[in-house]
Amino acid sequence: MPEYACARLASVPNESGPNHSGTASSDHPYADRFPVNRRLPEQGRPRAEVLAELEQIATEEDRAWEGGKVSGTMYCGDHDHYAYLTEAFGRFAHVNALQRDICPSMTRFEGEIIAMTLDLMHGEAVTGTEPGGLVTTGGSGSILHAVLAYREQAYAAGNRSPNLVKPETAHVAFDKACHLLGVELRVVPVDPATTLVTAAAMADAIDEHTIALVGSAGNYPYGTIDPIASLGELALERGIGLHVDGCLGGFVLPFGEELGYDVPEFDFRVPGVTTISADTHKYGYALKGTSVLLFRDQALRAGQYFHQVSWSGGKYMSPSIEGSRSGGLLAATWASMVHLGRDGYRRYAADIFSTAEAMMKVVRAQEDLRIMGSPTFCFSFASDELDIYHVADHMRPKGWRFNGQQYPDAIHMAVTRPQTQPGVVEAFEADLVEAIAYARERSAAGVAAESGAIYGGVPGGLAGLTDDVTDFIEQIMDSMLDAQMSLPPQ
């Protein structure tokens, strides 16, 4: 289920994308064309019939992003690459990564994924300690594991009231991790012009119970890179950790740097950086469900460990939060990395950076719009003259799917490989010019926009909400969850 950011949501239709079912509502997609399974069938259906149904659905849904108009989501967009990964996944899909005695390939795949990611993040710069890592289930998983490691380190030192300090722009997964783990979260505002946090502002939030700082490379809202070098100096000065969230940029920024783009050092070359998260399932072009968390010191990694030696089922030892995992994801991630290599990632990064530059040039040419900060491969744009959400409303029927930002209201575009196709930038320019004219007209008339600031672009029909409406938000999320897991009326 998507994660919903419900701080300030404009009223939007209750749908989660194109309605391929032909019905009036997407709450029960495909119910008019395919059987609805209200109970486990007495007799199973032929494999060919089931696969044909899945192929039809997948083909229709692929059309929503194949034209290159969807922000983020499909980072690769290459069906040949997906077929290759699917074959690699299929050979190990049934394997439980826990069973290393039966399937030693899991040790090879996971070890090499971590080693290759350490190489990308300049693990060779680490001295005095032995770096290590974990493969997790995604960005939120890597962040959760990192916060757990810092908390356990604090507990071992007698700090039972730990706090974590992050810029407001750092991913909300840190908020969730702190909520789950009982860590106080201290949020520091960013400079509204640069969209970056300053080390001085972070320093003001630190006290004797602070366990770590957070910096982003780049952050999700604006794609900008926090001053990691300054934060590293601060972390060293105060004797605390520094987590660099490279979940979004970890597998594209290093290649942008190699190509000569202005990408500051953010990895283990920076003294003070103690952990880094980087999502292989984003610009690493692996299948969804993998990320890598790196540690400057394996001693910090030990905070993940859980053991129970007195259980009747045997001595239980778990090196991370997850238990069973499909070996297929490790195999597919490894296959993606070794197939592409530095040259492949660099070629794709060149296309992505140049496309992002071209799209930002289009935005900057519009007098009513402004780019937030100085971004690289993804960007956000806002307006002081019109309601920017009207722009998203007008472009949505043309196939564009943006992510809404807030404080200030803005539109986010994460450039991925589908946007690098010929003609996409030109379509963006033509549709954006039309949308601005529409937005001027609607804004002048005082008409409210339909779309709004919702993480992941998931609409919810929630208007003007703030954080102080917990009970109401939970009711809304209940209804959304119930709708998305419900069956159509009989």
Read off the pLDDT of residues 293-324 as tens digits, 9 standing for 90 and up. 999 999 999 998 999 999 999 999 888 999 99
Higher pLDDT, 398 or 461: 398
> Residue 465 pLDDT > 70, yes or no?
no
Higher pLDDT, 32 or 464: 32
Listing DSSP states for 21-67 in one string gives T-SS-SSSTTTTTS---SS--SSPPPHHHHHHHHHHHHHHHHHHHHT
Torsion of CA 121, 124, 129, 130, to 10 degrees: 80
> Residue 332 pLDDT > 80, yes or no?
yes
Domain that holds residue 186: 92-337
Residue 241 DSSP SS3: strand
Q: What is the reported pLDDT for 47?
A: 98
Q: What is the reported pLDDT for 484?
A: 75
Does the residue 55 lie in any domain?
no
Q: What is the reported pLDDT for 480?
A: 74
Higher pLDDT, 466 or 442: 442
Q: What is the reported pLDDT for 456?
A: 56
pTM of the shown model: 0.91
Residue 451 — pLDDT band, cuts 50, 70, 90? confident
pLDDT (mean) for 408-424: 97
128: left (phi over 0), alpha (psi -120 to 50) or beta: left
Does the residue 327 lie in any domain?
yes
> Residue 435 pLDDT > 80, yes or no?
yes
Q: Give the type of residue at 43.
A: Q
State the burial class of residue 359 (Cβ atoms within 10 Å of its Cβ: 0-12, 13-18, 19+): buried
Does the residue 125 lie in any domain?
yes
Rounded distance between C-alpha atoms, residue 176 and residue 199, angstroms = 24
Rounded distance between C-alpha atoms, residue 73 and residue 480, angstroms = 21
Percent of the chain topping pLDDT 90: 83
Does the residue 164 lie in any domain?
yes
Contact 425, 358 (CB under 8 A): yes
Q: Give the type of residue at 80.
A: D
Tokens found for residue 308 = 């129970």
Does the residue 474 lie in any domain?
no
Q: What is the reported pLDDT for 455?
A: 57
Q: What is the reported pLDDT for 452?
A: 64
Residue 470 — pLDDT band, cuts 50, 70, 90? confident
CB-based contacts of 271, cutoff 8 Å, min separation 6: 232, 233, 236
Rounded distance between C-alpha atoms, residue 272 and residue 241, angstroms = 7
Distances (CA, A) of 98 to 103, 106, 273, 324, 325: 9, 8, 30, 6, 7
Q: What is the reported pLDDT for 474?
A: 80
Q: What's the chain's average pLDDT?
A: 91
> Residue 374 pLDDT > 50, yes or no?
yes
Residue 454 — pLDDT band, cuts 50, 70, 90? low
Does the residue 43 lie in any domain?
no
Does the residue 413 lie in any domain?
no
Q: What is the reported pLDDT for 468?
A: 60
pLDDT (mean) for 199-222: 98
- CATH label of the domain that carries residue 278: 3.40.640.10
> Residue 206 pLDDT > 80, yes or no?
yes
Residue 133: beta bridge partners?
294
Q: What is the reported pLDDT for 481?
A: 77
Q: What is the reported pLDDT for 467?
A: 55
Q: What is the reported pLDDT for 18?
A: 38
> Residue 471 pLDDT > 90, yes or no?
no
Does the residue 1 lie in any domain?
no
Q: Could you tell me which of 177, 485, 75, 134 has the C-alpha nearest to residue 325?
A: 134
Q: Order across the sheet with 163-167: list the strands.
A: 132-136, 291-295, 275-278, 241-246, 210-216, 163-167, 184-188
> Residue 248 pLDDT > 70, yes or no?
yes
Higher pLDDT, 477 or 420: 420
Residue 114 — pLDDT band, cuts 50, 70, 90? very high
Q: What is the reported pLDDT for 173?
A: 98
| Total domains in the fold of the chain | 1
Residue 489 — pLDDT band, cuts 50, 70, 90? confident
Contact 331, 351 (CB under 8 A): no
Contact 215, 244 (CB under 8 A): yes
What is the maximum span of the chain, computed from C-alpha positions, in angstroms?
71
> Residue 77 pLDDT > 90, yes or no?
yes
